[in-house]
């Protein structure tokens, strides 16, 4: 029997809350501490060797990295330096089969890692340290999320959106992965505020934000840009997929009445990288121009850049 929608949501949220560990090891003993970490309730998101671990970081988004001190393909110093340069400055713990002397631990700390443990003798200490570092990272994530969140809707705010937009366009430059941007504007919000009051207008804004969340995937960025304007950044989406997503969002918004207001609608502008633009600024401008056209052509519709 398949899981119901609420069960799927609960499972997804638990997965996000679970501590994630990336192992960097080619040692035969890596299976031992992988099993121990999983038995402790942690999510081991990958076992990689050498430089391949750096590629795994963005995909797996770990809270802590556990690496063999003698891993092939990259030195301990290089690994520490690379992790320092990541956006989150991920904590790194080294493991190995040589004795964890005071001198070795001190050298590890001076190199920029958080600790060193001899495996298998100090496996319980490794688990305790991983849990501690994961807890710190999760608290940092929560504080960062609050700083990047719109107070009324819980969506990403303009600052977080700008960061995500830059990352997606850079991803296209490096790996030729497309992305698309939807800009949505609530139709006649000023009239709604004038007729029903600003509390009703806030309900309309939250209604559209809920629809935006429903229409987005885990790797998309849904944001409130301010006032009645919203954005949905679609990772890996081409022009056709973006148009389909925009129409789905428009239909979701209009499908359910807002209490005390009735049915509300949105107008949308769509632009894709690299079809319509190749920079963050030009992608936003292309989507904004399409949104302006959608509003001029009668509202409650989607327009695509260049058409």
* Residues forming the active site: 228
Taking the C-alpha atoms of residue 89 and residue 83, their distance in angstroms, rounded to an integer, is: 6
Taking the C-alpha atoms of residue 48 and residue 52, their distance in angstroms, rounded to an integer, is: 6
Distances (CA, A) of 114 to 1, 90, 122, 223, 264: 45, 10, 15, 35, 53
Taking the C-alpha atoms of residue 55 and residue 28, their distance in angstroms, rounded to an integer, is: 22
Find the angle CA(303)-CA(306)-CA(307) to the nearest 5 degrees.
Answer: 55
Cis peptide leading into residue 90 (ω within 30°): no
Match 């001198």 to its residue by tokens.
Answer: 103
DSSP-derived secondary structure letter, 203 = H
The stretches of the chain forming alpha helices (DSSP H) are 5-17, 30-39, 52-60, 76-84, 102-111, 123-147, 158-175, 189-196, 198-215, 239-254, 280-296
Dmax (CA) of the chain = 74
Range 149-175 burial, b when 16+ CB lie within 10 A, else e: bbeebebbbeebbbebbebbbebbeee
């Amino acid at each position: 029997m398949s899981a119901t929608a609420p069960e799927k949501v609960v499972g997804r949220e638990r997965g996000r809350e679970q501590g994630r560990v990336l192992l960097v090891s080619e040692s035969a003993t890596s299976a031992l501490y992988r099993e121990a970490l999983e038995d402790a309730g942690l999510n081991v998101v990958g076992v990689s060797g050498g430089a391949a671990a750096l590629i795994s970081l963005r995909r797996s988004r770990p809270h802590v990295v556990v690496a063999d001190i003698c891993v092939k393909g990259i030195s301990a110093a290089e690994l520490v330096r690379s992790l320092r340069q990541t956006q989150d400055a991920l904590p790194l713990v080294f493991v190995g089969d040589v004795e964890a002397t005071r001198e070795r631990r001190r050298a590890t700390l001076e190199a920029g890692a958080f600790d060193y443990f001899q495996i298998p003798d100090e496996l319980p200490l490794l688990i305790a340290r991983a849990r501690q570092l994961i807890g710190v990272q999760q608290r940092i994530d929560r504080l960062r999320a609050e700083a990047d969140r719109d107070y009324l809707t819980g969506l990403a705010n303009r600052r977080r959106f700008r960061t995500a937009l830059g990352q997606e366009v850079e991803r296209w430059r490096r790996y030729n992965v497309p992305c698309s941007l939807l800009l949505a504007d609530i139709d006649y919000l000023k009239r709604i505020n004038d007729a029903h009051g600003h509390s009703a207008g806030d309900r309309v804004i939250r209604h559209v934000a809920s629809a935006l969340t429903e229409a987005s995937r885990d790797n998309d960025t849904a944001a409130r840009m301010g006032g009645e304007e919203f954005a949905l950044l679609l990772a890996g989406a081409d022009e056709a997929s973006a148009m389909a997503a925009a129409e789905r969002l428009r239909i979701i918004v209009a499908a359910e009445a807002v209490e005390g207001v009735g049915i509300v609608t949105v107008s949308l502008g769509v632009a894709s990288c690299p079809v319509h633009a190749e920079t963050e600024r030009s992608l936003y401008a292309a989507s904004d121009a399409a949104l302006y056209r959608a509003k001029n052509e009668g509202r409650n519709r989607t327009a695509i850049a260049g058409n």
